[in-house]
Structure 1
Amino acid sequence: MTAVVINGREVALASRTRTTQRVQSFVDQHGRAPGLATILIGNDPASEVYIRNKRRSATDAGLIDVHHHLPADVTQNTVAQLIDDLNADPAVSGILLQLPLPDGLDQTELINRISPAKDVDGLTTLSQGRLARGVDGLWPCTPAGVIELLDATGVTIEGAHAVVVGRSELVGHPAAELLLRRNATVTIAHSRTRDLAAVTSTADILVVAAGIPALIGRDHVKPGAAVIDVGIHRTESGLIGDVRFDNVLDIAGWITPVPGGVGPMTIATLLSNTVVAAESSAR
């Protein structure tokens, strides 16, 4: 058996097409497009690439691009004031603060400064609390993209045993919460789990977001399982994930590649969240 390779680029393209249509409907109804404000602090090369891709995708979808690039030595108060200004700007539907931040800035305080109504990254404490309580809101982009990938492949989530490897606030915890909302039985594992393979090999759905290159091999995977690899690591031989793709390919039922799997879904969900935020504020 060879796994079905899940094409995240195709699923993301379909999502972005739907978003573009919703943007046009919003413009037709309200006479303006939703605006996505991005904040980049410092000159980290990877962050610059990520922001450039997000801004280009937003513009392609018809969103208004509102970008602020601040120096690495900017003060906490200056960033906080900018976020307050964007919160109050009716032309801005969503705010994204690119992470990580330079040393000296309080990341948690600045994230929580973002209005939950404009928290298109789904990272504020209130947004995450809503997710944990089962209240509708704006969900973190990567975990929401994982769910959309599973739905696009026809994988049954309800009743399945899902194992999430990783417990970060960005991916692990929200992915587990979203799977629970879809009636999966969820186990959270991590790098310190004893006999990790014994846990992961029982999973019908295995979401790997541990941030450890090539952590998961064939002994960790149940035959026929859906394997979603969130990890991405730059090596001399190219990009790899948390899963040993070639090693697992002939035992999994479905698997995402790196690159081209989960990554495109993160931006697609960011765009969708921005339109959702605009529609909610216009009601």
Structure 2
Amino acid sequence: MNRTADADAAGTAEAGTPAGAAAAPAPERQAPAPERQAPAPETQAPAPERQVPAPEAQAPDPRRGRPRNAAADTAIIEAVLRMIEDGVSIGELSMERIAREAGVGKATVYRRWPGKSELLLDVMRSLDTDIPPPAGESVRDDLVGIIEFLRIRGLAKRNSALLRTIVTHVKAQPALWREYHETVVQARREVLLSVLRRGMACGEIRTDRDIDLLADLFVGPVLSRAVLHEWADLPPGLAEEIVDTVLYGVRPRV
């Protein structure tokens, strides 16, 4: 009797017919399922925490390398100047010899300059002085200051065998000479152009002429004497004479 009743109950459950006591345990067996799944979000939650340190770990970019040592730069450039002053020709200079004279490793020199010509370009820049910023009070006085700077620069080149030697070498390298012009020379020209623009704005200089042509009128006489005619004088007072003469011709006509 008992085995028959059990079989009947099993058959009823399998057929899906309602059974009071037999069907009740099913929800109890499934109830723990949500409890087992509940920790899932907790196991995923730490993921953002593991990713947070990544930017901090990458902050110091190892590819940047060590910062340049200004003292080493100065020692290398001074070593080149010292050797040229002692009569060493440009052809006799080598990166290895420069490194020995400067007291640094050859790799230190090559890390800063790929070759001797690039190094000499920076040596030439080291001999340059920055053009004084215009005071901005008088267009005439600012122009005189710029032309006087060029006059003194021309005298320095004329009187310095060291500077002539380096300039001659850099001039023979078209790419380097262009770079020098695009950085040093063009920066000076921009200072001159800024003063001329101010003169045009305030009515002291005519506005119906190309500003680059006007700039050439001011610097042309000094460059002509310093570069094309190195035997010509660059006397004191030349800057004032040039500026006053050109200003007379470029003043607006009433």
TM-score by length of 2: 0.30
Of structures 1 and 2, the larger Rg is shown by: 2
Greater relative contact order (Cα < 8 A, sep 6+) = 1
TM-score by length of 1: 0.28
More helix by share: 2
More strand by share: 1
